Amino acid sequence: MSTSHAVVVEKYAERHYISRFKKKYKGAWDTTWRAILEEFKRIDTLIGINSFVEIITDSAEIKICKTEFRVAGTQESRHASGNRCIIAIHKNITTVKVLLVYDKGDVGSNNETANWKAVIKENYPDYCDIL
């Protein structure tokens, strides 16, 4: 049986990235975002089951994961879309914190992982030690 997680969208993610998706996709974004939040509520059931949740680091209290999504109504697969979320799963308080929601182009294409890790370290000092 899976645990239901509370989902918290960090202000930085909302201000810097999600707002762009809202403008670009309008109504389709609302549908997409509701589906993403529902997935995050039951994140434990998705880890290890499919390829669109990747564990980046797993400490005693926190898992940092990268997930993939596609916007409702588009024809691309989750992976091909280039749309990603970086989340922190806080095990002890059963909470998923949405740290980043981005298109690969938002963080630079040379080394996507290094780029988003730098953004996380710069804007979320609590996660520096586990990345």
**Could you tell me if residue 1 is inside a domain?**
no
Give me the CATH number covering residue 32. 3.30.2310.20
Residues 6+ apart with CB under 8 A from 3: 44, 94
- Taking only the tens place, the pLDDT of each residue in 9-54 is 999 999 988 988 999 898 899 999 999 999 999 998 888 777 779 9
**Could you tell me if residue 68 is inside a domain?**
yes
**Could you tell me if residue 61 is inside a domain?**
yes
**Could you tell me if residue 94 is inside a domain?**
yes
Around 11, how many Cα atoms within 13 Å sit in the side-chain half-sphere? 1
User: Count of domains in the chain?
Assistant: 1
Residues 6+ apart with CB under 8 A from 71: 21, 25, 28, 29, 32, 81, 83
Tokens encoding 118:
């730098």
Look at the alpha carbons of 99, 113, 37, 28 in this order and tell me if their dihedral is positive or negative.
positive
**Considering only CA atoms, which of 28, 43, 26, 24 is closest in space to residue 98?**
43
For 16, the domain range is 6-130
- Taking only the tens place, the pLDDT of each residue in 111-122 is 888 999 999 999
**Could you tell me if residue 17 is inside a domain?**
yes
Which helix (H) or strand (E) segment holds residue 28: the answer is helix 27-41
Q: Phi and psi of 91, rounded to 5°? A: -65, -45
pTM of the predicted protein model: 0.91
- Taking only the tens place, the pLDDT of each residue in 53-106 is 999 999 999 999 999 999 998 888 888 788 999 999 999 999 999 999 998 777
